[in-house]
Amino acid sequence: AQKVTQAQTEISVVEKEDVTLDCVYETRDTTYYLFWYKQPPSGELVFLIRRNSFDEQNEISGRYSWNFQKSTSSFNFTITASQVVDSAVYFCALAGGFKTIFGAGTRLFVKA
């Protein structure tokens, strides 16, 4: 069975702090995809990044970076120099076969 665990329910930081959101997944598939989505207060889910199971290269996009480690089944997301606009719920997701399974999400509060 597939499973995605986001152990951090809520995180609160002060603007300009770095913050890491954890994601641990379980799957028996050898080919799968991992995603991060952002759900701002307005409600609509927005795609941030996709990785496939054969590509363990870390990725950086502006203030965002992702660390994919198959050995620990983790796909962590770091925001550097956080901003108030980063306040949202962030979901990690795992796709294999026809289904995409989402974690329960981590709510990030960034205070000015």
Interacting residues with another protein (CB under 8 A): 4, 33, 35, 37, 43-47, 50, 52, 91, 93, 95, 97-105
CB of 81 to another protein, least distance (A): 25
CB of 97 to another protein, least distance (A): 8
Measure the CA–CA gap between 24 and 101, rounded to whole angstroms: 12
Query: How far does Cα 2 stand from its chain's mean position?
Result: 16
CB of 10 to another protein, least distance (A): 10
Q: Which is nearer to another protein, 50 or 73 (CB)?
A: 50
Q: Which is nearer to another protein, 61 or 71 (CB)?
A: 61
Q: Which is nearer to another protein, 35 or 77 (CB)?
A: 35
Measure the CA–CA gap between 84 and 81, rounded to whole angstroms: 10
CB of 29 to another protein, least distance (A): 12
Measure the CA–CA gap between 29 and 31, rounded to whole angstroms: 5
Q: Which is nearer to another protein, 16 or 70 (CB)?
A: 70
**Cβ neighbours around 15 below 10 Å, total:** 13
* Torsion angle defined by CA atoms of residues 80, 57, 68 and 54, in that order, rounded to the nearest 10 degrees: 160
